Amino acid sequence: MLGTVSSVKEAVNWLAYTYLFVRMLRSPQLYGIDEEGEIQRDSLLVQRRADLVHTAATHLAKAGMIKYDRKTGAL
């Protein structure tokens, strides 16, 4: 495998290793994250990362850059 992300699940996991994720945890207000609510419910921001991946995949699919199957999460 070439390290290619081929599903939403893989992309969500990959985001956990990025600087963006570290910044989201350290300065949540800069990213519109409610410290009292969202971080209390989801300390690792799994849902926020999934939302980011879905939004990016939707935009890339509309631009014809990837194929995105919303039902299976395949990219």
**Residue 2 confidence (pLDDT):** 61
Residue 2 lies in a domain: no
**Residue 31 confidence (pLDDT):** 94
CATH code where residue 28 lies: 1.10.10.10
pTM assigned to the model: 0.89
Q: Which domain holds residue 50?
A: 8-62
Residue 51 lies in a domain: yes
Residue 25 lies in a domain: yes
**Residue 63 confidence (pLDDT):** 98
Per residue, the 3-state secondary structure of the chain, as one string, reads: CCCCCCEHHHHHHHHCCCHHHHHHHHCHHHHCCCCCCHHHHCCCCHHHHHHHHHHHHHHHHHCCCCCCECCCCEC
Residue 67 lies in a domain: no
Residue 1 lies in a domain: no
Residue 14 lies in a domain: yes
Render each residue's pLDDT in the chain as its tens digit; 75 residues.
467 899 999 999 999 999 999 999 999 999 999 988 898 999 999 999 999 999 999 999 999 999 999 999 999
**Residue 36 confidence (pLDDT):** 85
Tally of domains within the chain = 1
